[in-house]
Amino acid sequence: MNLAKKILLVFFFIGLSFLADAQDGEDLNLLGEDVESPEETFVKKVKKLKARKLSDLVQLSRFSDIAVIQRRFMPKTGRVSASLFSAFNMTSEFFLHTGLGGHLNYNFLEKHGVELSSYYLWTFKRRVTVDLAALSANVEESVPIHQSFFGLVYKWMPWYGKMAFYDKSILAFDTFFSLGGGMSGIIRGKNGKIIWEPTAVVGLGQVFAITRDLGLRWDLRYKITIESQQNFNVLNNFLFSIGLSYYYPSAGLR
């Protein structure tokens, strides 16, 4: 091969390398122009759709998943719930009252239901009561003891929502209000007998969904009891309770 042919081959390969580099640069530029973020793609789809109301967004490909999330996670209509709880009387200055109780609830509508409630409290003396007894002040004879209750309340559940739990899961909850009445068991005196007196109840609470059938529930209820045998003396107390609620029948995915 003579020198002229060698020089021509060298220039030929150099030209091919320049063409390849130029093509690669054009491809990279095209990629940079064509690639767009998911947010930009979503915005373009929404603009193209010309949605005028929220229901129009159902036409987007992945909105069906969001539509399910926005529904009430733990449905209530036509379901019975049974609750077991620990209760604490928060208003007694001389005694500590704590006990156990239960609720039996039925929702005839998603936001409306009726509930049977009952509990029993054990009584323990506070330090101030022991000190007064040492000074011959018999607190037990003069202070009424709220021992038990049973009654019926109406429950209204206007709000439900969701919140992030440690940025790892979504925790659904319901907020409810209760109004009703019943009978409270009141004891006066160390060896006094239990007397049943009428009681009005108003309260609020929440249920945090653990599953679609099991929830963690807390209640704060204000009770007004009228002692008919003590010149219609009025007793006031706040009762805080916390426990678990189980719903039946099981809720299927809607």
What per-residue confidence (pLDDT) applies to 131? 75
What per-residue confidence (pLDDT) applies to 243? 96
What per-residue confidence (pLDDT) applies to 18? 47
Q: Summarize pLDDT for 19-57 with one digit per residue, the tens.
A: 445 444 444 444 444 555 666 666 676 666 666 666 666
What per-residue confidence (pLDDT) applies to 130? 75
Reported as half-sphere exposure (CB side, CA atoms, 13 A), residue 114 has a value of: 4
Residue 81 neighbours by CB distance under 10 Å: 22
Phi, then psi, of 158 in degrees rounded to 5 = -80, -25
> Strands, E, within 188-232: which ranges?
194-209, 214-227
What per-residue confidence (pLDDT) applies to 161? 86
Give domain 80-248's CATH number out of 3.30.1380.10, 2.50.20.10, 2.40.160.20, 2.40.50.140.
Answer: 2.40.160.20
* Dihedral sign of CA atoms 43, 46, 50, 51 in order: negative
The residue ranges of every structural domain in the chain are 3-69, 80-248
CA geometry: angle at 104 spanning 101 and 108, to 5°? 155
For the chain, the helix, strand and coil percentages under 3-state DSSP, each to the nearest 5: 25, 50, 25
What per-residue confidence (pLDDT) applies to 43? 66
What per-residue confidence (pLDDT) applies to 240? 96
231 pLDDT exceeds 80? no
Q: Summarize pLDDT for 129-161 with one digit per residue, the tens.
A: 777 776 766 776 777 888 899 999 999 999 888
Q: Rounded distance, CA 146 to CA 88, Å?
A: 11
What per-residue confidence (pLDDT) applies to 19? 46
Q: Which of 212, 206, 198 is nearest to 170 (CA)?
A: 212
- Please name the helix (run of DSSP H) or strand (run of DSSP E) that holds residue 142, with its range, or none: helix 139-142
What per-residue confidence (pLDDT) applies to 188? 78
Q: Summarize pLDDT for 156-209 with one digit per residue, the tens.
A: 999 888 887 777 778 889 999 999 999 999 887 766 788 899 999 999 999 999
Q: Summarize pLDDT for 79-126 with one digit per residue, the tens.
A: 999 999 999 998 888 888 999 999 999 999 989 999 999 999 998 888
Q: Rounded distance, CA 60 to CA 174, Å?
A: 29
